[in-house]
Amino acid sequence: MKKISDKLMRMKKLSEEAGVPKGTITFYIKEGLVPHPIKTKRNMAYYDEKHLNAIRLIKELQNKRFLPLSVIKQIIGGRADLTIEELQTVFQLDGKLFQHLKGQPRIKPVIAKKLSEWTGVPLKEIRELEKYRILHPFKKGNQTFYDEDDVRIIELWAKVRAAGFTRELGFETSVIKIIKDNIDGLVEEEARIVLRRITGKVPPDKVVKMVDDGLQLGTAFMELLVKKSVLEFAGKYARQFQESVKKHK
């Protein structure tokens, strides 16, 4: 028991290490922001690094990101089973990815009307894509603007329409939402895989480069894997059709 206790701390020590009053820590535990204590005996509660890190994360979100507890609870409660340490790694990446792409944009931000005129995509569809959070416009003064990424998405959507995927055939903008939802799920799963292998093992500055490089390589892999999957899908059903025809001859 002594060996285990050496790694643990009582509430008083936790409060001193975290710089947070006991009552506040108790409140965090009650609200599910900090894990419940470790019980070694009926009336003996201990805490360890995961409790301390959880409190430090809350303080960081409050003091550096000015988030209220209600929002912090949503973040920690909906973190897709990431540990506190893995969440901290994610926060360290925030604002640091794709820096090599953040030079002078080749396309200046435009308003919705201009974007519609430029691409031929109806304003209604631009608004729908914004509602689905495919586009992320920003406010400047009294006007709403779309940045380079949003413009390129609309340009691609215009090409999709030109290729024959029309609204009349049932290709609504909600199709992109289905794709986006699948991508979101894939990103969450990839994040879990990566974070569990690098957290605490790779310094933050190296993590940024690794993730940047990994995303570019992942895109290349994705293109090839999608091509293979489409060919396998078509081939499978073509073979089934041919076998069915042979059986009925």
CA distance 146 to 115: 8
The answer to whether 110 and 155 are in contact (CB under 8 A) is no
Shared-domain flag, residues 114 and 197: yes
Instruction: Return the percentage of the chain with pLDDT > 90, whole number.
Output: 45
Please say if the pLDDT value at position 111 is more than 90: yes
Of the pLDDT bands very low, low, confident and very high (cuts 50, 70, 90), residue 3 is very low
Distance of alpha carbon 67 from alpha carbon 193, whole angstroms = 28
Pairwise CA distance, residues 125 & 139, whole Å: 19
Burial classification of residue 53, based on how many CB atoms lie within 10 Å of its CB (0-12 exposed, 13-18 middle, 19 or more buried)? middle
pLDDT at 18: 92
32 and 59 in a single domain? The answer is: yes
Residue 88 lies in a domain: no
Which of the listed residues 162, 183, 201 is the one where a domain comes to its end?
Answer: 201
pLDDT value, residue 215? 83
The secondary element (H helix, E strand) that includes residue 143 is strand 143-146
Percent of the chain scoring above 70 in pLDDT: 90
Stretch (H or E) spanning 44: strand 44-46
Alpha-carbon distance of 33 to 63, in angstroms, equals 16
Note the pLDDT of residue 225. 92
Q: Which residue has the higher pLDDT, 30 or 107?
A: 30
Higher-confidence position of 105 and 114: 114
pLDDT (0 to 100) of residue 46: 93
pLDDT at 81: 61
Residue 85 resides in a domain = no
Q: What is the pLDDT of residue 103?
A: 53
- Quick one: 107 and 187 in the same domain? yes
pLDDT tens digit sequence for 146-193: 999 999 999 999 999 999 999 999 999 999 999 999 988 888 888 888
pLDDT band at 68 (very low <50, low <70, confident <90, very high): confident
Span 25-37, average pLDDT: 90
Domain match, 179 and 210 both: no
d(C-alpha 165, C-alpha 26), whole Å: 57
Radius of gyration over every alpha carbon of the chain, rounded to an integer in angstroms: 25
Look at the chain and report how many structural domains it folds into: 3
pLDDT at 48 over 80: yes
Q: Do 162 and 122 reside in the same domain of the chain?
A: yes
Q: Report the alpha-carbon distance of residue 186 to residue 168 in Å, rounded.
A: 30
Q: Model pTM?
A: 0.64
Averaged pLDDT for residues 96-105 = 57
Worst-scoring range by mean pLDDT, 10-14, 58-62, 70-74? Answer: 70-74
Domain that holds residue 224: 206-249
